Amino acid sequence: MPTILLATEKPFAAAAVNGIKKIFDEAGFETVLLEKYTDKNDLLKAVADVDGMIIRSDKASAEVIAAAQNLKIVVRAGAGYDNIDLPACNEKKIVAMNTPGQNSNAVAELGMGMMIYAARNFFNPGTGSELAGKKMGLFAFGNVGRKVAKLAKGLGMIVYVYAPTKEKTWLEGFGTIVVSSPEELFSTCNYISLHIPANEKTKKSINYDLLSKLPKGAVIVNTARKEIVCEDSLKRVFEERSDIKYVTDIACDSHAEMMEKYASRYFATPKKMGAETSEANINAGLAAAKQIVDFLKNGNTQFQVNKF
Ligand code: 3PG
């Protein structure tokens, strides 16, 4: 009987956990639950004998992959898989997957909420501003970006997009204005919403050159990954300009310093909250469980993100 580990330092809603267990029960698989662990050794122990594993932002590091004697598949219940060591998986021919789109609505809604929070001066007394009529700039146009575009248009915003891997006419079909460079996006838009993954190309790519081009009073919204923003550049721009705001679902490494100096312009959620809805937990968790069953029973690799 295959054994599947559900390793979530940040646990899923109970309904999602029950749904995952039901899928594995019906498939004749055993579920092992490791939630809210604080010690990496607990994960190393739990992964030792399992055939499959579901994770969220939990780190499937080279050490974790090395500790797994029988692992055949790891599924990141979510979009970004920068927490999985793919070369380590490749070496052991372990299939890595994500569940694209399953939690994107939750992330998009949080992004809009953070934008409103910024527009209203973090709910401090004083006059804020409205989103209607403002220019929204989407950096990339995947599942989350598309949903943010729809919500922003619903609020009467003018939506710009920079997404070089996508067809211009396809992007325009969503009622967006397509720009041809990140510089154009940053110099044009009042709100920038980041939707790029964290990888070797994108890390620290939101740099001084881009940030310094922002129009007066601009807001950067980050529901993607902290690594894509160059913190030194962000700090430099914050120091030089008192009109820029940064709202993020992933606290800066220098969070304490940012809070101390810029509490009226910097906001970070206490813990990554984008996918923290029961709907997103259920969608992503159940999709991950189904993908594992379909892979182990039928060899379906539709959502595989690594190649070996
Ligand atoms: C994702 O990549 O899907 C999101 O960042 C959500 O991450 P989480 O499951 O750790 O909340």
Q: Is residue 305 part of a domain?
A: no
The answer on 166 and 45 residing in a single domain is: no
Residues 290 and 147 placed together within one structural domain of the fold: no
Regarding whether 112 and 256 lie in a shared domain, the answer is yes
262 shares its domain with 114: yes
The pLDDT score that the predictor gives to residue 285 is 98
Alpha-carbon gap, residue 245 to 236, rounded angstroms:
13
- Residue 306's pLDDT is 98
Could you give the CA distance from residue 290 to residue 19 in angstroms, rounded to a whole number?
10
Output the tens digit of pLDDT for each of the chain's 308 residues: 999 999 999 999 999 999 999 999 999 999 999 999 999 999 999 999 999 999 999 999 999 999 999 999 999 999 999 999 999 999 999 999 999 999 999 999 999 999 999 999 999 999 999 999 999 999 999 999 999 999 999 999 999 999 999 999 999 999 999 999 999 999 999 999 999 999 999 999 999 999 999 999 999 999 999 999 999 999 999 999 999 999 999 999 999 999 999 999 999 999 999 999 999 999 999 999 999 999 999 999 999 999 99
Domain of 142, in residue numbers: 104-268
Domain assignment present for residue 256? The answer is yes
pLDDT digits (tens, 9 = 90+) for 104-141: 999 999 999 999 999 999 999 999 999 999 999 999 99
Of 280, 225, 295, 224, the residue nearest 75 (C-alpha): 295
Best residue among 10, 54, 56, 222 to mutate for probing ligand 1's pocket (most ligand atoms within 8 Å of CB) is 56
Q: Residue 46: its pLDDT value, please?
A: 98
Chain position carrying tokens 């490749």: 90
What is the number of domains present in the chain?
2
Q: Is residue 10 helix, strand or coil?
A: coil
Whether 131 is covered by a domain: the verdict is yes
Q: Are residues 257 and 117 in the same domain?
A: yes
Q: Do both 91 and 135 map to the same domain?
A: no
202 lies in some domain: yes
Q: Domain for residue 235, yes or no?
A: yes
In a domain, 303, yes or no: no
48 C-alpha vs ligand 1 centroid, how far in Å? 24
Judgement on whether residues 83 and 168 belong to the same structural domain of the protein = no
Which residues line the pocket of ligand 1, CB cutoff 6 A? 10, 56-57, 78-80, 103, 272, 274-275
Co-location of 121 and 160 in the same domain: yes
Is there a single domain that holds both residue 289 and residue 238? Answer: no
What CATH number has the domain bearing residue 114?
3.40.50.720
Residue 38: per-residue pLDDT:
97
Is residue 246, in this structure, part of any structural domain at all? yes
**Residue having the nearest C-alpha atom to atom 5 of ligand 1:** 80
* Centroid of ligand 1 to alpha carbon of 79 (angstroms): 6
Residue 280, pLDDT score? 98
Does one domain contain both 109 and 249? yes
Q: How would DSSP label each residue in 131-191?
A: STTPEEEEE--SHHHHHHHHHHHHTTPEEEEE-TTS-HHHHHTTT-EE-SSHHHHHHH-SE
146-156: burial string, b at 16+ Cβ within 10 Å, e else = bbbbebbeeee
Query: In this predicted model, what pLDDT tens digit does every residue of 10-56 receive, in sequence order?
Result: 999 999 999 999 999 999 999 999 999 999 999 999 999 999 999 99
Residue 304 within a domain: no
Q: Are residues 148 and 48 in the same domain?
A: no
The ligand 1 atom nearest the CA atom of 273: 11
The verdict on 52 and 146 lying in the same domain is: no
